[in-house]
Amino acid sequence: MNGYSDWLESKHSERVWLDNAMAALCQFATLKPIRRSKKYNGREFKVYTYGNYTEGQSRDIKYLSSTYVSHRKLQSKFREIFKEGTNPCEILWEVRRSLSDYGEFYIYTFTPLYKRGWIAEVHRPPLNRTIEIEDIWET
């Protein structure tokens, strides 16, 4: 996971994503996602969008939307890392996309690498603030 990135970027917004079986690195800008409801195939579900840094020293925040399953697992990891005395926004994470165990949708899995992140705390938004931005979901 060193030296390359599979992030795909929107041409119209700051949104990023991975295709199936892709992996990349990120550093979270904040811990609190932007939440919204979305309809797909006649069903409504929640989408959790996290602000993160996707490359080196760039301070540009990109936005990754995830399902409830990915969000819940990520929040559990954040709590574990805080208990260890580390700020989850200080470290790099490996992100992978794969088919869920249920086979109906894709999920992201996040693995903390415990390597120092690219962006220092002084240059990041407050830890628990939701990042407000318009039209990050445009394709």
pLDDT digits (tens, 9 = 90+) for 50-100: 999 998 778 889 999 998 889 999 999 999 999 999 999 999 999 998 877
- Burial readout 53-79 (b: 16 or more C-beta within 10 A, e: otherwise): bbeeeeeebbbbbbbebbbebbeeebe
pLDDT attached to residue 124: 84
Average pLDDT (121-133) is 67
Q: How far apart are CA 29 and CA 88, in angstroms?
A: 10
pLDDT tier, 113 (very low <50, low <70, confident <90, very high otherwise): very high
Whether 130 shows a pLDDT value over 90: the answer reads no
pLDDT tier, 1 (very low <50, low <70, confident <90, very high otherwise): very low
Question: What's phi and psi for 123, nearest 5 deg?
Answer: -100, 5
pLDDT in tens, 14-59: 888 888 888 899 999 988 898 999 887 888 889 999 999 998 778 8
